[in-house]
Amino acid sequence: MNANELREKSAEELNATLFSLLREQFDLRIAKAQDSLTKNHRIKEVRRSIARIKTVLSEKKA
């Protein structure tokens, strides 16, 4: 998801997406701690997606 796509969404949709990504990040961290994580690149992707959503949300507040 790029920032332009995120800017088209409403704040409620962004918050819902943010919540699901935070949950996924938590699950990935748990899987990594248990050595059962197979897609290590997903941690980086999810972290950056969370940052993008938070940036767009702060732009909408301003």
Residue 3: the pLDDT is 87
pTM here is 0.90
Residue 1: the pLDDT is 75
Residue boundaries of the structural domains of the chain: 3-61
| Buried-exposed string 46-61: b where 16+ CB fall within 10 A, e elsewhere | beebbebbeebeeeee
Helices (H), 1-62: 3-7, 11-33, 41-61
Provide the 8-state DSSP code for 10: -
* pLDDT band per the 50, 70, 90 thresholds, residue 61: confident
| Residue in this structure with the two tokens 């969404």, named with its chain if needed | 9
Task: Report d(CA 34, CA 58) in Å as an integer.
Answer: 35
Domain 3-61, CATH 3.40.50.1220 — does that match? no
Q: What are phi and psi of 59, to 5 degrees?
A: -65, -40
